Structures are given as C-alpha cells and as structure tokens.
Amino acid sequence: MGSVGDNARVIAGRYRLDARLGRGGMGVVWQATDQFLGRRVAVKELALDETLSDADAEQQRERTLREARAAAQLRHPHIIVVHDVVVQNDHPYIVMELIEGGSLAGRIARAGPMGAREVARMGIGLLGALRVAHAAGVLHRDIKPANVLMEDTTGRVVLTDFGIAQVSGATTLTDTGSFMGSPEYTAPERMSGERTGPESDLWSLGALLVTAMTGESPFRRDSIGGVLHAVVYDEIRPPPAAAPLLPVILGLLERDPQRRLGTVEAERLLRTYVETGRMPSTPAGRAGGQPAALPVAGPGGYSPTYRDLPVRRPGQSAGPSRRRRRAMLIAAALVAAVAGAGVSAALLLGREDNGGTPPLPTQSAQTKTVSPSPSPTPTVTVTRGSRTPKPSTPEAPEGYRVTKDPRGFTLAVPEGFTREVDGPRVFYISSGGTFRIGIKESAPEPGGPQAVQRRADAKGPENNPGYRDGEVTETSHNGRPAALWQFTWDGFTQAEGARHTYDLCWEEGGRMFDVWVSAPLDKAREGRRYFDTAVDSFVRR
C-alpha cells in the first residue's frame, strides 16, 4: 500500500487518491480523501479496454457510467453507498463509502466456514439489498464472497462492486461470444446466454450461502469446463454442513428460474431460522415450486437434491420445461465450445492482475478476452478455436514449452529455461540467470495464503537485501483463496542490480503452492508476463 504524499493525485478537483487498496481487471481501488467534506472515501478508477476503437471505447464508457449512476440511486444499509461518479481526462471514477474491513472471501480464507445463524443473518441482509436493487431494475450479476464486505466495527455486511451490474433485460452473452461473471456463482440461464432477471442474482446468493457454510463453492471444479458442467447438469448436493439452511439453499439453486425461491420467501425462512433455530416447512405447489419439507443430510453425509423430491407444481409434467431444455442445449454448446477451444482451462480463467500487464495472447482463432472482475474470483472468457488440448495438460503459448516436472506438476516455461532444484524449491532459470521462475509445494500453514504472504513480507528486509515496496494483495487462483506478494529488492550482488519479484500463494487439494518470478527491475514487465503464464498454466498432476 502506498503512502500519502504532496504529489498525490486529485481528481475532479476534490478527491485525493491517498493509497491503493487493490487492483483487478476492471480497475484500481484507492483509499481517498474527499477534501471538500473532509471524509475518507473509496475511489474505483475504472480500467477501459485499450484495444477498442474510439467509438466502442466511448460506448463502453457511457454504459459504465450509466450503470454506475443507476447503482448510485440505490439506498439500503447492505448496499455500498456510491457518493459520486466523475470523469477526468475521459477516464471514469466511482466514489464510494470506505468500508473498514475485509471481504467475505478473506474471512472464509482466514477463519474457515461460518455458523448457520451467522450465515442466515448475512443472507437476510443481502436479500434485502437485492430486493431494493431489483425493484429499481438493477441486476448485480457478480454476487460472490469477494464482493461482500464485512465491516470490522459493526459486523455489517455490504454488497459492493456493481461494476458489471446491468439494468435488467439486457443480454449477458454478447455478440462477440464473451461472458462476464464468476462461473462458480453464475446461474445456468446466464451460462446459456439467455436474457436474465432478478432470479439469476438469487441463484448466485444460494451458491454464496453454501460457500460461507462449507468453505467452498458447490460448483468448484478443476477446470472451467467442469464448472460449466456442474452448474448446468450435475446433481446439486450441498455438503452436510449446509443442512441447517438446506430448504433455502436448494430453493435458490433451482435450475428453472420460474421455480426458484423468491426474495420474500427466502428472507422469511431465514428470519424464522435465526429466531427459532429451526427451518420452517414451505407450502408445496406455491409459486417457486418448493416442497413442503426437505430432508436433511442422511447417513454417510448424503444431501438430497430436487431429483430426490417428487413435488412438482400442479399441471406440470415430469420432464423439464421446453425453456429449460433449450437452456440446457445452449449450455451444452457453450461447454463444448470451451472444451474444444485451443486454450487451456487455466488460461480461460481470468485472475487479479496486480501488475497491470495483460495476459499473453493465445494461438486460438476468434478470441475475445473480457477483463476479469475487480475482485478475486475469476471471470470467464468463452473462446472459440479448433484444437483440443489433452486433458489436464496446459497449452504452451508461442515461445514456451510444456514441462512435466518430476515433482508432480505441469506448467509452461519459456524455451531455453533450464531446471534447477534447491531443497523443496524447483527453479526454471533463463540463460545467465536473468529471469527465475520458482515453484514450491508444502503443507498448509496457519492463516492460509494471506497470512503466509504477510509473514514473508514482514521478513522481507531480513531475506532480501534492500527490500522495499512490498505489497500483499488478497486474490484468488482457480476460485481458491490466494495472496499475491510483490516487492523490489537490490539483488544478491551489486552487479546483478535491483530486481522485482511476483509471488502467488494458494491452497489446493490439501497442499499449499507457491509460484514466483524474479526479474531485473527494468525488465519487470517481461517478468510479469512469465509470471502470469506460469501461474495460469500450472496444473498439479
């Protein structure tokens, strides 16, 4: 995090950008000072796609501002307050209240799953927020743990980042074949490219409630194709830990939007649970199609799904509706397009880009990349190509090769890099040692990736001569909590000169992984490209 200085930028003649709080594909979030009112605020500096034509860039800017202004009209205790929307030098900024506290994603990563009553209270607040937004015709479209803030002093939960929010009625699968959102929290009808409404946000909330209670999204898989298949086809079986709120969860995760549990009913059920500790039955046959009673997890940890429940609405046939069959067919084509694309699943998943360097272009034809959401959970880019990579094998961009390391992982490394081993660490090093890619696998450590990186940052001066500009950012990797640590240091020798290091840490399959790249300071941008490719192509075998 930077420090306040005399030359701090001031936008709109009023908001002084004091320190950077985080960075994502949609822009940078700053801690700022409203010099007119003398209060601290958060300012999101929105990133615009520099590859667009002037006309398309102007259209994107106007759409962004229109949607931000719509979000600014929303008033609810659990919706982030938007104070102002300004433009300076053709660049849009959103000025918001500053929430002192981390995200739900960070809370889960640090402390693990939450209790059922705490999750129910959170759900009530978020349902109230969505009710207000939907009444105003605003859809959020990216509800996930990283977009829920938790205020330290009050415990208030706040729904933030309406950055890809959209006025209801607009499509979500664009003419270019691009898709925005976080796949593990995206409703099947949105995956299918159908016109969506408030029900899609409610599906996302259902997935979020499961994550809060169990520590993991119910649709987490090892590849984007797996995620899409899980959302559209797989039986939905929340883990036993979700049993106390199962009627609400299964109601929200109903694949048919017309049968999905509504805001009012979901809030009623959660309030009753908070007050009594018991989940009431829901009347069969009502709009929303929920059964009169849902069984909880049985022997062996089995959790029921709607396929286990014979209840259906009066006059409804046993098979799926024509609308749902159409959605499933479109989604099947979408899954097939992703599975057949000439890009590895890891490269299809966007990540936090804290270094400002775009990912390397792929070799697939007709590719349109969508910037990831400003929070840690990844976005999807639907890419159409011709070649099909081998399962679980990353595809090497031009100038790279895929290496299957003896330590049990696979990744793409630049041609000419050679392998070296130093205890538990594996290095791939360029000629002369200019660039160094490091990989380490270890047992999980207390506090998770964020705590590990913060401890490393604290020991930075001890382990890295001339350590400076250290920064740890909460992010995610393949949908799992992660932390990015980057810093500058003097190098091991005077002749070597100053260097910059990018280091990503995450947990997967009960193990902790660390991937980093060290590069000369004047070649940090090139080092960032090596880093992004190493992380995006990394596969544990």
Catalytic center residues: 142
Tokens of 537: 């192509």
- State how far Cα 114 lies from the chain centre: 19
- Residues 219, 516, 507, CA angle at the centre, nearest 5°? 30
- Calpha distance 394→113 (Å, rounded): 32
Are 516 and 502 within 8 A, CB to CB?
yes
Are 109 and 481 within 8 A, CB to CB?
yes
Q: Find tokens 């990133």 and name the residue.
A: 47
- Calpha distance 484→133 (Å, rounded): 33
Edge-to-edge strands, sheet with 436-442: 418-422, 425-429, 436-442, 511-520, 499-508, 480-489, 468-477
HSE (CB half, 13 Å, CA atoms) of 478?
Answer: 24
- Calpha distance 418→435 (Å, rounded): 11
Task: Report CA-CA distances (Å) from 403 to 223, 397, 407, 428, 429.
Answer: 19, 13, 11, 10, 13
Q: For residue 358, what is the DSSP state?
A: P
> Diameter of the chain by CA atoms?
80
510 burial (CB, 10 Å; 0-12 / 13-18 / 19+) is exposed
Tokens of 319: 């098979």
Q: Give Cβ neighbours of residue 80 (< 8 Å, ≥ 6 apart).
A: 96, 97, 99, 149, 158, 159, 160, 161, 162
Phi and psi for 443 in degrees, rounded to 5?
-75, 150
